[in-house]
Structure formats: structure tokens, C-alpha cells
């Protein structure tokens, strides 16, 4: 929407003019940006932090700057045009109409547009690749059901135009923008991509991808998938930080569920049950507002899995049954939700039902091959219950595809367990150490380290790992000593049980000799 009308005024966005009675009204750039932001977000209260980030991006200014611009606007538009909501922010209070279609508001989900990539030259016969990357990245991002992705046709309207990302974000109703460039020759292609929070102008993520250009279409698809696998977790992390500071009363059912997903994801390997309890509380609050919220059901499934894993539940059977029901409800709400299918698969595995778990985990990966977390879990469980030769390569691929993933600790732990499954104990122990460096307070890498170091013949290291995990996660240690592990593979269980008891000092070191 280029022009909006309210009372006797017209705001012309592209021309950056405020007009009254056919004459320009003198208004400064900051006041214009503040007015434009408040009109765009007129259906909600806009917090002062969001205003400062949007109107004064990358600039440290005092609170008085906002007060001065606010006073100027109230002087021009009337004292009741902009309402101050104590403790929350500002809201535009005048009726608005338009000379064109209304600009869409932001959807509940994190929203993103992939703008046309710049062609930086190279081989002119390969100039088409820049558009190809945009189309492929847009398509692959759409596999992430938590994202709202603008169609390529809308994005390509901005080809060759000067770009004001704040204007584009308002016109398309998106918060995040992906920009990039392509330089292709007959032998190589270099693609740069960057993720920007268009509301604040903040650069969230950037990466350069260099590849051999052998087989154009195959290279294009592989690079696009690599970009998306790295990009999606960064959107999740940026959105989690944004929504963490939002007032609960400002959140929709989806917003509450998204905050719950952020809480459980941030502490996914933590033994402390408090984050899980908070995530469950938020999910239940979301379900009170919308009983069909698939994301809220998915949060409850994830909470159940970690409670069973850590033995922080009074009834494992009841929690497992509740978790499987929650995942099933999430899938009923959205049958294409690969996260929910992955979680139902993991719950089946920990319920000793690999026959149900492995096909569903494979299906989750097929639905979204760009999800590194799903790929890592698939590697782990292929190693235990499927094609053992695929396990380690799949887990390694997850780390290669998303080298800076916020869940890197989990990915490394999955790799270590896959390596343990094929008796590569030294590698499994190193993966445990690397995972521990990413998640120092997590018990999972210590469990892995305890059994892997026994396999590697380093009983001293195994005992040290056991002592630490026994202190951090006593109920988890008790469950493992009782024989409750992630999988029902007999060979894995025999080795894991015996090695863990050796690390605990409950069995002689020689007991490992016939099992290694």
C-alpha cells in the first residue's frame, strides 16, 4: 500500500511525503518513519524497543529522541492520534483507508521473503542461475512449516529497484529478508546469502558458498539446500529472541506456542525440568486460546520426550502415551509438519517400538530434507535399527549442512551415538567432548562419553564422565543403570549397559573385552 489516508492527511510511502489538502506537511525523516511504523502496526501496541530499532537502526540515541518525535506528530495530527499504553508502548488510533490494497499485517509465523539475487557477472551464459537460486531457496524454505514464505512472483517485483527493506517488509507483510549475489563461471559458482531483520535493519546471518560447477542444475539444487539448512535455524533463533521479550498479553495462541517451542528448543538437552515445565505451561495456554494449535501440541510432545529421556516424570508409561497423543494431534493439525513426525518417531523409539519409529523418522526426513536436526536423529537411529552403514554419514551430513546450527550440541551427540553403534569408540568419545563444549551443562554428552571412553579403553576418562553426570542428572543415571536407553537394539543395549556399569565402578573393566 503506497498511499494511506487518515482524517485530512495522506501518507505517501514511496515518495516519503505527508500531504494535507494537496500541500506537503513539513515532517522530519524520523517522524515520518515513526508514523509509517505505527500506521503499519495499527492493529497492535508497538513496544518502545521495536520503535527504537526500526526508527533509529544501528544508532544509540536517548529516550528523549522518541519523545520529541512523538510530540511533533501529536502536534500535527492531534493529541489523540497516537495513544500511549502504559508499560507497553504506542498505538495509532485514527481510522485509516487506502488508495490501493492494504498492506498485509505480519502473520503469526516468522515471515520471510527471498529477494532477487544480484548477478555479479562471470560467464554471461550462466546469468540465469541467480534467479534459479532464488526460486530454489524459496521452494526449500517452504518445507519449514513454521515459516511464512512469500511466493517468488511477489519477490521478483523488486528486481532492479532501489531497495528500502523496511518498505518492502511492510508491503509484503514480512519481518525477515534474504538477499544475496551469484558469480558463476564455467568451473565454479560463488553464492553469498544474508538474512536481515527488515524491521530493525540488523544483519542476523551471512554466509558464502563456493562450489564446483559440474552439472549446473545439480549444483544449484545442492547449494540452495545448503543455504536453506543454514538459514532456517537462524530465523528460528532470531524469532525466539524477539518473542522472548514480547509481553504475554500481546501474544496470540501461535505466539504463546512459539515461545514454548523456543524455550524447549533452547534447553533441549538440559536435565533441569524447569524449562520444560515453562514450555508446557505456554503450550497449554496456547491450547486454551486455540485447541487446534498444532505447534502447541508439538511442544507438549517434545516436553514429554525429554521428561522420559531424563526420567523426570513420575510415570514413564503415562508420559509416553501423552507425548505420542500430543504428536498425533500435531500431525492431525498439519500432516506435513516434519517436526511433529520426528517427535512421534522418537517417542516410539524410546517406547521400544522401532518398527513404528524408523519408518516415521524416514518420512519426516523425506518431508523436509533440509532440516539438520531431523537428519542427525535419522543418522542415530539408522545406526541402531536400520542401515548401520548410513548412520554416521547422515549424522555427519547434518553437521556439514548446518555448521553453525543453534542445536549443534545435539547434532554432535547424535553423531557420537551413531559412531558408538558401529564401534568407532574413539570418534564417539571425541564427539562427546565436542558436544560437551557446546552444551556444558548437558548430561547427554557425559552419558555418551562414559560409554564411549570405556569402548576406547580409557576407563579413567569414563569414570570421570560418569562422576560428572551422576552429579548433574541423578535420575537419568538411575534410569540408564536400570537398562533404559534410547533404543532396543540388543547389541547396543548389551554394550551400553555393560560399559556404563564399568564407568560407574559396578562391573570390572574386563567385562568390556568380549563386547568391544
- Is the pTM for the entire model greater than 0.85? no
Residue-by-residue DSSP string for 382-433: HHHHS-HHHHHHHHHHHHHH-TT-TTHHHHHHHHHHHHHHTT-HHHHHHHHH
DSSP 158: G
Phi-psi label, residue 173: left if phi above 0, alpha if psi -120 to 50, beta otherwise? left
Question: 509484503: which residue's cell?
Answer: 172
Q: Does residue 258 contact residue 295 with C-beta atoms inside 8 Å?
A: yes
For the segment 47-97, what is each residue's pLDDT rounded down to a tens digit? 888 888 888 876 777 778 888 899 999 998 998 999 998 888 899 999 887
φ/ψ of 20, rounded to 5, equals -135, 120
- Mean pLDDT, rounded, of the chain: 88
Supply the pLDDT for residue 473.
Answer: 94
| Number of alpha carbons in the 13 Å side-chain half-sphere of residue 415 | 25
Nearest to 143 by CA among 317, 299, 336, 13: 336
Distance of CA 473 to the CA centre of its chain: 27
Buried b (16+ CB within 10 A) or exposed e, 468-478: bbbebbeebbe
Q: Is 458 exposed, middle or buried (0-12, 13-18, 19+ CB in 10 A)?
A: middle
Q: What share of the chain is helix, strand, coil (3-state, %, to 5)?
A: 60, 15, 30
What is the structure's pLDDT at 325? 98
- pLDDT score at 211: 83
Amino acid 457: pLDDT: 96
518525535: which residue's cell? 69
Stretches in the chain below the pLDDT threshold 70: 1-2, 22, 58, 98-106, 214-217, 244-251
Q: What is the DSSP string of 291-346?
A: TT-HHHHHHHHHHHHHHHHHT-SS-HHHHHHHHHHHHHHHHHH-TT-HHHHHHHHH
The SS3 of residue 105 is coil
All three cell numbers of 468, joined, read 560428572
Centroid of chain to Cα 258:
10
CB-facing half-sphere around the CA of 32: CA atoms within 13 A: 19
In sequence order, which residues have a C-beta less than 8 Å from that of residue 168 and are 6 or more positions away?
Answer: 113, 115, 158, 174, 177, 198
Domains observed in the chain? 3-98 (1.10.10.10), 111-243 (3.40.50.10610)
User: CA-CA distance, 322 to 334, in Å (whole number)?
Assistant: 18
Distance of alpha carbon 53 from alpha carbon 199, whole angstroms: 7
Amino acid at each position: 500500500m503506497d498511499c494511506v489516508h487518515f482524517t485530512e492527511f495522506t501518507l505517501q510511502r514511496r515518495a516519503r511525503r505527508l500531504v494535507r489538502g494537496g500541500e506537503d506537511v513539513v515532517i522530519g525523516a524520523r517522524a515520518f518513519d515513526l508514523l509509517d511504523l505505527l500506521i503499519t502496526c495499527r492493529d497492535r501496541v508497538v513496544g518502545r524497543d521495536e520503535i527504537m530499532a526500526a526508527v533509529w537502526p544501528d544508532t544509540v540515541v536517548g529516550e528523549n529522541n522518541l519523545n520529541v518525535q512523538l510530540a511533533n506528530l501529536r502536534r500535527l495530527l492531534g493529541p489523540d492520534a497516537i495513544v500511549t499504553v502504559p508499560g507497553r508502548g504506542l498505538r495509532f488510533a485514527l481510522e485509516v483507508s487506502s488508495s490501493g490494497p492494504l498492506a498485509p499485517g505480519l502473520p503469526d509465523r516468522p515471515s520471510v521473503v527471498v529477494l532477487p539475487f544480484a548477478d555479479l557477472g562471470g560467464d554471461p551464459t550462466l546469468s540465469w542461475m541467480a534467479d534459479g537460486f532464488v526460486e530454489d531457496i524459496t521452494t526449500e524454505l517452504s518445507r519449514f512449516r513454521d515459516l511464512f514464505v512469500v511466493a517468488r512472483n511477489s519477490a521478483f517485483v523488486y528486481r532492479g529497484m532501489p531497495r528500502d527493506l523496511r518498505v518492502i517488509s511492510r508491503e509484503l507483510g514480512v519481518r525477515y529478508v534474504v538477499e544475496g549475489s551469484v558469480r558463476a563461471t564455467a568451473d565454479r559458482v560463488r553464492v553469498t546469502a544474508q538474512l536481515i531483520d527488515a524491521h530493525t535493519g540488523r544483519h542476523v546471518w551471512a554466509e558464502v558458498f563456493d562450489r564446483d560447477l559440474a552439472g549446473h542444475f545439480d549444483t544449484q539444487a545442492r547449494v540452495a539446500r545448503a543455504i536453506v539448512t543454514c538459514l532456517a535455524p537462524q530465523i528460528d533463533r532470531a524469532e525466539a529472541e524477539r518473542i522472548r521479550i514480547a509481553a504475554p498479553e500481546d501474544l496470540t495462541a501461535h505466539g504463546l506456542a512459539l515461545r514454548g517451542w523456543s524455550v524447549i528448543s533452547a534447553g533441549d538437552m538440559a536435565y533441569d525440568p524447569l524449562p520444560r515445565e515453562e514450555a508446557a505451561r505456554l503450550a497449554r495456554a496456547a491450547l486454551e486460546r486455540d485447541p487446534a494449535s498444532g505447534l502447541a501440541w508439538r511442544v507438549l510432545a517434545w516436553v514429554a520426550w525429554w521428561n522420559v529421556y531424563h526420567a523426570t516424570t513420575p510415570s514413564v508409561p503415562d508420559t509416553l502415551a501423552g507425548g505420542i497423543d500430543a504428536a498425533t494431534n500435531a500431525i492431525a493439525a498439519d500432516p506435513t509438519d516434519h517436526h511433529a513426525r520426528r517427535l512421534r518417531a522418537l517417542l516410539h523409539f524410546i517406547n521400544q517400538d522401532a518398527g513404528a519409529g524408523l519408518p516415521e523418522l524416514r518420512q519426516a526426513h523425506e518431508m523436509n530434507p533440509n532440516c539438520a536436526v531431523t537428519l542427525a536423529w535419522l543418522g542415530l537411529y539408522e545406526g541402531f535399527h536400520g542401515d548401520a552403514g548410513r548412520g554416521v554419514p547422515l549424522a555427519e551430513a547434518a553437521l556439514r549442512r548446518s555448521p553453525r546450527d543453534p542445536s549443534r550440541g545435539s547434532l554432535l551427540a547424535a553423531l557420537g551415538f551413531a559412531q558408538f553403534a558401529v564401534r568407532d569408540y574413539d570418534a564417539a568419545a571425541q564427539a562427546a567432548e565436542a558436544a560437551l563444549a557446546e552444551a556444558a551443562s548437558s548430561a547427554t554428552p557425559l552419558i555418551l562419553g562414559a560409554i564411549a571412553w570405556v569402548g576406547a579403553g580409557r576407563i579413567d576418562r569414563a569414570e570421570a564422565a560418569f562422576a560428572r553426570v551422576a552429579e548433574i542428572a541423578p535420575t537419568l543415571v538411575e534410569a540408564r543403570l536400570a537398562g533404559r536407553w534410547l533404543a532396543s537394539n540388543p547389541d547396543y543395549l548389551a554394550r551400553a549397559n555393560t560399559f556404563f556399569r564399568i564407568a560407574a565402578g559396578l562391573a570390572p573393566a574386563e567385562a568390556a573385552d568380549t563386547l568391544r
